[in-house]
Chains A and B, each alone.
Chain A
Amino acid sequence: YRNLTHWLKTRSVSVDLNNDASLLIDIPDALCERDKVKFTVHTKTTLSAFQKPEFSVPRQHEDFIWLHDTLVETEDYAGLIIPPAPPKPDFESPREKMHKLGEGEATMTKEEYNKMKQELEAEYLAVFKKTVQVHEIFLQRLSSHAILSKDRNFQIFLEYDQDLSVRRKNAKEMFGGFFKNMVKTADEVIISGIKEVDDFFEQEKTFLLDYYSKIKDSTAKAEKMTRSHKNVADDYIHISATLNTLSADDSTFYLRLYKVEGRVASDQELKLTELLRYYMRDIQAAKDLLYRRARALADYEHSNKALDKARLKSKDVPQAEEHQQQCLQKFDKLSESGKRELTSFKGRRVVAFRKNLIEMAELEIKHAKNNVTLLQGCIDLLKSN
């Protein structure tokens, strides 16, 4: 029931991905009906691979997941970091709060109720914006990647003007999600288990495994902190409502203070928590790459053993040799591609952290300064009487 007409673009968590004019993607609009979000994916392109230079299609969250999964399942991309899939839109929290608010309506004044409702609607909107942002970034990561941007399924996703759900079902039947499931289980064991000859990957492995657990923890703690901040902001609503009943004056101060406290909470949320959350998923994607490479190495080692065995038995040696060569090639390709990907990933990560930390600090300063002005004004007013 929500239609975003004025879409306020918050800055992306990654660096500006939408730079290459040959393929520009954005989500200018989205519709929220009950649980489902319908995204409008808008593409502007100079590439001949597409039928038109500019077009829009409606897409659901499940379509994004389908696209992500097909990319993961594609052998050719084994040496790439596949951008993490956007998480499912989750309106659980504001919906639950809205429900509670409805139940508690009788115990509050009309104004208090309206204020709380307003804030909940703002929260709803914030969740909405977040989910649009995250879906948009996913597509922009793809469009800015030299190899992935050319993927056929990606093009279908952008262009196909019919419902994708038929294709989605077929895909599930075909792949059965083997690779995906495999990746989920025991990858850490396998990654840490291989004998690493390459210093670069040895370092990366150690770093990524450790960093992942740390960033996961930080994300959780940041989320908790933000929730507490929201609670404080909510308290100010109740306080201001009661003060309003007691006197027509001071409530305005508290209402405004709430606005600023509330805004700080959601700004923090956007910058810090989203940053951490996003990179947590991105690092998981990097780990997945390491895993695939580890598997390729394991395959190569197996093929070596098989070759030795074949030579001993003097049976099927050419096949064994060819298999071994293939494994080696695959492993080398993954290593080369992986090295590239991981290096650029590090650069991307550092730049994104920098940008978001700066923006967060600037926002904190701005809000604090606003607060001081607001508070000082109230103090002066009270003292002058």
Chain B
Amino acid sequence: MADTARDPPPEQTDFQELEDGEDLFPEPAAAPESGPASLPAEDVSTNSNGPKQDSLFDDDPEDLFAEATEEVSLDSPERDVLLSDGPSPAITPITPPTSVITPRIGHAHDDMFTHSSFDEIEEEEGGDSFDIHIAVSDPEKVGDGMNAYMAYKVTTKTSLSVFKQGEFSVKRRFSDFLGLHSKLASKYLHVGYIVPPAPEKSIVGMTKVKVGKEDQSSNEFVEKRRSALERYLMRTVKHPVLLKDPDVLQFLESSELPRAVSTQALSSAGLLRMVNKAADAVNKMTIKMNESDAWFEEKQQQFENLDIQLRKLHASVESLVCHRKELSVNTALFAKSAAMLGNSEDHTALSRALSQLAEVEEKIDQLHQDQANADFYLFSELLGDYVRLITAVKGVFDHRMKTWQKWQDSQMLLQKKREAEAKLQFTNKPDKLQQAKDEIKELEGKVQQGERDFEQISKTIRKEVSRFEKERVKDFKSVIIKYLESLVQTQQQLIKYWEAFLPEAKAIS
């Protein structure tokens, strides 16, 4: 079996911020396999409540209209635009004269610890000293019929001083989570912070729950959602800046939370968002950014590739889940059939052995079920989270471009105004001249601010990306280990079952 040789990836040393020798899920090499632009997005899981599609309706009963709220719009239109638009905007590597962005060469550590007050926070919260744990539990149906909703208990255990207590819980509903995300996104995305996306909505799943169907699929849906909400909160508080945000604190601590109305469909906020998104999409396509910093160009390409690979992997794992469930069903059917065969067998010892075989297969069927759950909850959901996270990352890169554009626009406007002022010099209009000079002063301020904003967002993104990559490696590693351990357990159970069966088979005479 030919493994690709384990060369460390070429010159991506900039922010290849990994422990030595640990090659787990680094960015793909600079010259990647050209994956397909569109992925076979087959929704193979029969039980799936369609994370990819029907994210139309809120579970709030008041939402009568189908609309993409903030959370969903992060995924769909954005993603479509990104995918259909090719990997990155046209980038001409020209060094603009006023650029203060120097390409980073050297270790990520330099960047992490050299400047900005935020770095202190990160140091404080690094790795081991990060002590907060959030559990989402006890889903409870509140209300009846189509007005019903699920309330979840959110329990926080922490020793961090920013919280008033060490352990406390509150009750929250799904729209509260969406509301939280909405607020965080509006505050932090446009300055370059990777805000973890909230779990997706699902009309099918929620309707079943509302209607009161107490069957396995609606139980699975609730569990899937509960798990997703928990991961969402943990990711959010792991972010050193978001953790300190008053909205987050309020969400975790305060017993009463004002209803998140702006997540609803036809609120003015929602409409405005829709319009903005459309405008943004158009703008994005026309922005030609002079990328002076190779790091950004590289990173965008890397994320593009990572996106493709993760989606592909996600699809394969979903297929695995589905097939394993099928295997479980077929094993159960075989077990029943073997039992019948055992009954029909007239040789006593063989009959008993066949019945034993049937029992073993029945137990194995249960094993397959459990394994399918592990496949799903550990592996598949993680991949889904990261596919959405990467969309958020790409969004942040886009914001940087917009910030650049804004800066450039101010600069161009300033240039025009200066030309106009120069012309005015030759005319005899002192008022107009003064006005022009005032405007120029204002614009100069704007330009400076624009430059500062651009610098700031670029810096923030670098930090965020490096943090993201560290987290991702940690995340994947811990999940993979858990997943492997679940596989080990399954295999050990199999050994037990078959070893118990063997003497029965040998007893046939």
Contact = CB atoms under 8 A, between A and B. Distances in A.
A257 B480 CA distance: 14
Nearest to A222: B334
Contact of B506 (A110, A358, A379): A358
Nearest to B4: A248
B323 A235 contact: yes
B24 to A, nearest CB: 6
A250 B480 contact: yes
B498 A217 contact: no
Interface string A188-214: 000000000000000100010011001
A317 interface: no
B340 interface: yes
Interface in B247-282: none
Given A232-B320, A375-B491, A218 B481 contact: no
Given A232-B320, A357-B353, A368-B495, A211 B344 contact: yes
Nearest to A251: B3
A171 interface: no
Contacts of B505: 354, 357-358, 361
B495 A224 contact: no
Interface string B469-501: 000000001001100110110011011001101
A225 B33 contact: no
A354 B350 contact: yes
B206 to A, nearest CB: 30
Interface in B169-184: none
Contacts of B480: 250, 382
Interface in A92-117: 106-107, 109-111
A243 B26 CA distance: 11
Nearest to A249: B23
A376 interface: yes
A247 interface: yes
Interface string A116-148: 000000000000000000000000000000000
Contacts of B347: 346, 349-350
A361 B481 CA distance: 29
Contact of B33 (A109, A222, A235, A239): A109
B3 A248 contact: yes
Contact of B344 (A214, A250, A353, A375): A214
A379 B485 contact: yes
Interface in B455-477: 477
Contacts of A249: 6, 23-24
Contacts of B498: 361, 364-365, 368
B484 A379 contact: yes
A236 interface: yes
A255 B498 CA distance: 25
A107 B501 CA distance: 44
Given A211-B344, A238-B316, A383 B481 contact: yes
Interface string B336-351: 1110110111110110
Contacts of A372: 488, 491-492, 495
A346 to B, nearest CB: 7
B309 to A, nearest CB: 5
A249 B3 CA distance: 8
A214 B340 contact: yes
Contact of A238 (B3, B5, B28, B319): B319
A306 interface: no
B378 interface: no
A182 to B, nearest CB: 27
| Interface bracket on B | 35 or more
B502 A362 contact: yes
A284 interface: no
Interface string B1-27: 111111100000000000101111110
A118 to B, nearest CB: 9
A229 interface: yes
Given A224-B334, A245-B33, A368-B492, A239 B345 contact: no
B313 A239 contact: yes
Nearest to A107: B36
Interface string A227-267: 11101100110110011111111111001010000000000
A327 B496 CA distance: 58
A380 B310 CA distance: 25
B4 A244 contact: yes
A228 B319 contact: no
B481 A379 contact: yes
Contact of A243 (B313, B324, B349, B350): B313
A328 interface: no
Contacts of B324: 232
A212 to B, nearest CB: 9
B337 A217 contact: yes
B355 to A, nearest CB: 12
| Residue picked from A218, A251, A371, most chain B C-beta under 10 Å | A218
A230 to B, nearest CB: 9
Contacts of A235: 316-317, 319-320, 323
Given A214-B344, A222-B337, A248-B23, 18 more contacts: A111-B4, A214-B341, A217-B341, A218-B338, A221-B330, A225-B330, A239-B317, A245-B33, A250-B480, A346-B347, A350-B349, A354-B506, A361-B499, A365-B498, A365-B502, A371-B488, A375-B484, A385-B22
26 contacts: A211-B344, A215-B341, A222-B334, A224-B334, A225-B330, A225-B334, A228-B323, A228-B331, A235-B316, A235-B320, A238-B312, A239-B316, A244-B3, A246-B28, A357-B357, A358-B502, A361-B502, A365-B495, A365-B502, A371-B488, A371-B491, A372-B491, A379-B484, A382-B484, A385-B19, A385-B22
Which 8 residue pairs spanning A and B have beta carbons closest together? Answer: A228-B327, A354-B508, A235-B320, A357-B505, A221-B334, A231-B323, A238-B316, A225-B330
Interface of A: 106-107, 109-111, 203, 207, 210-211, 214-215, 217-218, 221-222, 224-225, 227-229, 231-232, 235-236, 238-239, 242-252, 255, 257, 346, 349-350, 353-354, 357-358, 361-362, 364-365, 368-369, 371-372, 375-376, 378-379, 382-383, 385
